Structure 1
């Protein structure tokens, strides 16, 4: 990873639809050079996809919650499979510690959130946090250059 590739990643993390022409201007390289660098990062598995950022509230899903799930012994495999059937699931994190999973869900109402929690009751103990706002939401750590080796 060199500084130019890191700059490309930062630009793409803000706007994944930015044209190669615009990217080339921002990193001071030719468009073909930018294209080749991005293609190489895709082949190396550094860039794994391009996704839109979606405002769920504008779609009528204003409630976003993080649910810590402390799964009952012997129920983890079954619970993981059941989670994948819930329509409200946004993300599932399998983590270390007493909490086995953190599940991010989106619902229309608090009553819908309560219904999700009720479906989980036979598999785990939960602790739910409502997301009030996300002051920082990016795919990269804020100062990634402090964490990786640059060539």
Structure 2
């Protein structure tokens, strides 16, 4: 279900992207509506799939996972990780997979505790197709809130 977002919806999304732990009372104060109205709007955004979840953003280095890599993959058919993401259920080090256009079919973000662990994950990923990896040196922009759609 696609919904059209108004200025209040975007104000709620901005606030929740900034701090998803805000109470309905605090959200209501920020957008100048009642808490029940805010709760109803947030539920509508969740039901429409605009809000897909709430989670903490964790720094992998601070959490003991200092090796981060981006892995470009070319895979096809029954072994394609974008068509069959369940193939990676036993590889928790793969924390994100994006399907791409062009000659590379996907990009996987891998987080490990050591280069040796990264090598093990890369060997496992090679079973599913051709891989090319790059270790992340730093992440100047780790996350940003979504811009407002026009």
Tell me the TM-score normalised to structure 2 length: 0.82
Unaligned 5+ segments in structure 1 are none
Specify the SS of the correspondent of 1:90.
Answer: strand
Alpha-carbon shift at residue 106 of structure 1 (Å): 0.6
Tell me the residue number matched to 2:120.
115
**1:135 is paired with a residue of what secondary structure?**
coil
Q: Determine whether 1:9 maps to 2:9.
A: no
Q: For structure 2, list consecutive stretches of 5 or more residues without a partner in the other structure.
A: none
Q: CA deviation at 1:79?
A: 7.3
**Structure 2 match to 1:33:** 37
SS in 2 for 1:58: coil
- SS of 1:24 mapped into structure 2: helix
Higher RCO, 1 vs 2 (CA within 8 Å, ≥6 residues apart): 1
The Cα offsets for residues 105-138 of structure 1, whole Å up to 9 and x where unpaired, read as 1100111111111223343222212223333344
Query: Hey, what does 1:130 align to over in structure 2?
Result: 135
Question: After the TM superposition, which segments of 4 or more aligned residues of structure 1 sit over 3 Å from their partners?
Answer: 72-75, 77-82, 137-140
Q: 1:46 aligns with which of 40, 50, 54?
A: 50
Across the two proteins, how many residue pairs are aligned to each other? Answer: 145
Aligned counterpart, 1:92? 97
Q: CA RMSD in A?
A: 2.3
